């Protein structure tokens, strides 16, 4: 049974993450929002500290690299609070500080989570310490990852990749990217596999960096692959095309990464709520938790409604992570958490800007930045619409062909 309190063994680590967010990330938030594409050098020291904590076991479950496949299925009846829950809790705190800077941290990319999710023991060891971005989205493919056009053709001990990927987070700074490609277009989604492609591999080119609405501290790249040879050993998971499981195996990555993105939205929204409450108090608006919302000012009632939405997103995120730790299938819950947190995170940050008026819209406070940053959290790792579609399919028992 899930316990809604932060597990005792994680409290020290979560407090450390909050302290880092307060003392390092938030003070540099505006600086790197204005200096788009400039690398935040302050993060090198922070990344080294996180690596040290993880190596010692004191910070097990830090960020994306903490996500691991369940070592057992949890059938012994014991409740586990493991790396998935630890990861979402730490990410919430870090994104309370700054989402863009969290996404810029070395070795904490979503590609790292993909490796942690599906790599075998030998690959875990070989790719340890690698900073990996995630390359899924392509021009013209829309939100359906099954329509991927990038190809991977076996040639001896290598695969030859051809195609173009867009919106690759940390695509310029990372050491490698996890690339989704199809082994055979005629077989559809079942033939899609993921490959670890290290930077500097001949045929891999970073074409450009995108200018963005938010998360400007994080670089977002377009990458082209032209006759790019990748060792066959860099294919994550089984190289066999299984028509019963092929695409599902790759999609397991999302079951781990979607709760992480939900946690980002929860952390950013919490920052907005806390600052807005202080600003309302300074303006003489008190939020009274002992009185019905209908008997309070419009601003206070709006704030209470936002807090309720935030609480739902927070609990759904914890549930998805907890289920993964305990070996329970969480595809439905991961999509529910991502859908709820992505939507309400953006709604909350925008509404906080409105409640704060001119102060919220100006650069005097970080509210306007959080509103910009939060939008991407409703888009990447599966858009709001895709998440709702996945949830509907799961609840109704429909296939992707039956419910589009």
Structural contact between residues 208 and 221, judged by C-beta atoms closer than 8 angstroms: yes
Query: In 3D, which of 349, 391, 356, 396 has the Cα closest to residue 374?
Result: 349
Q: Are strands 158-169 and 151-155 parallel, antiparallel or unpaired?
A: antiparallel
pLDDT at 388: 96
Q: How far apart are CA 315 and CA 233, in angstroms?
A: 39
Distance CA 392, CA 403 (A): 8
Mean pLDDT (whole number) for 142-149: 80
Distances (CA, A) of 22 to 43, 96, 103, 369: 14, 8, 16, 16
| DSSP structure string for 93-138 | HHHHH-HHHHHTSTT-SHHHHHHHHH--HHHHHHTTT--EEEE---
How do strand 176-182 and strand 132-135 relate by DSSP bridges?
A: parallel
Q: What is the dihedral of CA 219, 262, 105, 54, to 10 degrees?
A: -160
Q: Is 60 exceeded by the pLDDT of residue 249? A: no
Overall pTM > 0.85 = yes
Structure tokens at 219: 């670089």
Average pLDDT, the chain: 90
* Residues present in the chain in total: 404
| Predicted local confidence at residue 72, as pLDDT | 53
Would you say 254 and 382 are in contact if contact means Cβ atoms under 8 Å apart?
yes
Out of 132-141, 273-282, 306-315, which region has the weakest mean confidence (pLDDT)? 132-141
How many Å apart are CA 277 and CA 319, to the nearest integer? 27
Give the integer Cα–Cα distance in Å for 67 and 60.
Answer: 9
Q: Are 367 and 355 in contact (CB under 8 A)?
A: no
CA 101 to chain centroid: 13
The answer to whether 381 is a known catalytic residue is yes
Tokens of 46: 């922070």
d(CA 283, CA 276): 10
CB 206 within 8 A of CB 262: no
Alpha carbon 110 to its chain centroid, in Å, reads 6
User: How crowded is residue 276: how many other Cβ atoms within 10 Å of its Cβ?
Assistant: 28
**Cα distance between residue 248 and residue 152, in whole Å:** 18
Worst-scoring range by mean pLDDT, 32-36, 105-109, 347-351? 105-109
Write down the pLDDT at residue 114: 86
Q: How far is CA 303 from the centre of its chain?
A: 26
State how beta strands 158-169 and 220-231 pair. Answer: antiparallel
- 252 sits in which H/E element: helix 246-282
pLDDT of residue 56: 56
Instruction: Express each pLDDT in 171-206 by its tens digit.
Output: 999 999 999 999 998 888 889 999 999 999 999 999
Q: Are the beta carbons of 11 and 19 closer than 8 angstroms?
A: no
Closest CA relative to residue 65, chosen from 120, 106, 117, 108: 108
Q: Residue 54: pLDDT band by 50, 70, 90 thresholds? A: low
CA gap 362, 171 in Å, rounded: 31
Q: Is 197 helix (H, G, I), strand (E, B) or coil?
A: strand
User: Among 93, 164, 333, 381, which one carries the catalytic annotation?
Assistant: 381
94: Cβ contacts below 8 Å, ≥ 6 apart? 17, 20, 21, 25, 63, 101, 102, 267
The topology under which CATH files domain 132-236 is Butyryl-CoA Dehydrogenase, subunit A; domain 2 (2.40.110)
Domain 8-126: which CATH number of 3.50.50.60, 3.30.70.20, 1.10.540.10, 1.10.645.10:
1.10.540.10
Instruction: Note the pLDDT of residue 65.
Output: 56
pLDDT for the residue 188: 80
Distances from the Cα of 46 to the Cα of 17, 88, 107, 237, 265, angstroms:
10, 18, 11, 31, 22
SS3 call for 179: strand
Domains 8-126 and 246-396 share a fold: no
Q: Regarding the domain with residue range 246-396, which homologous superfamily does it belong to in the CATH classification? A: Butyryl-CoA Dehydrogenase, subunit A, domain 3 (1.20.140.10)
What residue segments make up the domains of the chain, in order of their start? 8-126, 132-236, 246-396
Please tell me the predicted confidence (pLDDT) of residue 83. 87
Q: pLDDT tens for residues 55-114?
A: 655 554 445 555 665 555 556 668 888 889 999 999 999 999 999 999 999 988 888 888
């Amino acid at each position: 049974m899930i316990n809604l309190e932060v597990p005792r063994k994680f409290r020290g680590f979560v407090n450390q993450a909050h302290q880092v967010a307060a003392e390092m990330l938030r003070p540099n938030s505006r600086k790197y929002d204005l200096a788009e594409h400039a690398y935040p050098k302050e993060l090198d020291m922070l990344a080294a500290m996180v690596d040290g904590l993880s190596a010692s076991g004191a910070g097990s479950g830090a960020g994306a690299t903490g996500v691991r496949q369940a070592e057992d299925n949890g059938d012994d009846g014991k409740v586990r609070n493991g790396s998935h829950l630890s990861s979402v809790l730490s990410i919430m705190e870090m994104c309370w500080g700054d989402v863009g800077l969290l996404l810029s941290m070395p070795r904490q990319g979503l590609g790292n989570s993909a490796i942690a999710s599906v790599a075998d023991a030998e690959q875990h060891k070989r790719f340890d310490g690698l900073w990996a971005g995630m390359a899924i989205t392509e021009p013209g493919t829309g939100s359906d990852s099954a329509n991927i056009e990038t190809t991977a053709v076996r040639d001896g001990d290598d695969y030859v990749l051809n195609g173009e990927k867009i919106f690759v987070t940390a695509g310029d700074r990372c050491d490698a990217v996890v690339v989704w490609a199809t082994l055979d277009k005629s077989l559809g989604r079942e033939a899609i596999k993921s490959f670890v492609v290290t930077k500097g591999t001949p045929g891999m080119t970073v074409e450009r960096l995108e200018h963005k609405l938010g998360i400007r501290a994080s670089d977002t790249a377009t990458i082209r692959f032209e006759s790019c040879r990748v060792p066959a050993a860099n294919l994550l998971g089984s190289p066999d095309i299984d028509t019963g499981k092929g695409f599902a195996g790759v999609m397991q990555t999302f079951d781990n990464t979607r709760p992480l993105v939900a946690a980002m939205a929860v952390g950013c929204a919490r920052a907005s709520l806390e600052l807005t409450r202080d600003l309302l108090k300074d303006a003489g608006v008190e939020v009274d938790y002992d009185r019905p919302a209908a008997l309070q000012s419009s601003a206070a009632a709006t704030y209470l409604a936002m807090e309720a939405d935030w609480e739902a997103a927070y609990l759904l995120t914890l549930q998805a992570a907890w289920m993964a730790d305990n070996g329970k299938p969480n595809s439905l819950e991961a999509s529910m958490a991502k859908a709820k947190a992505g939507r309400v995170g953006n709604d909350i940050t925008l509404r906080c800007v409105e409640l704060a008026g001119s102060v919220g819209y100006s650069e005097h406070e970080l509210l306007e930045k959080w509103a910009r940053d939060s939008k991407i959290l409703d888009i990447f790792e599966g858009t709001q619409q895709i998440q709702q579609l996945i949830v509907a399919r799961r609840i109704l028992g429909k296939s992707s062909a039956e419910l589009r």
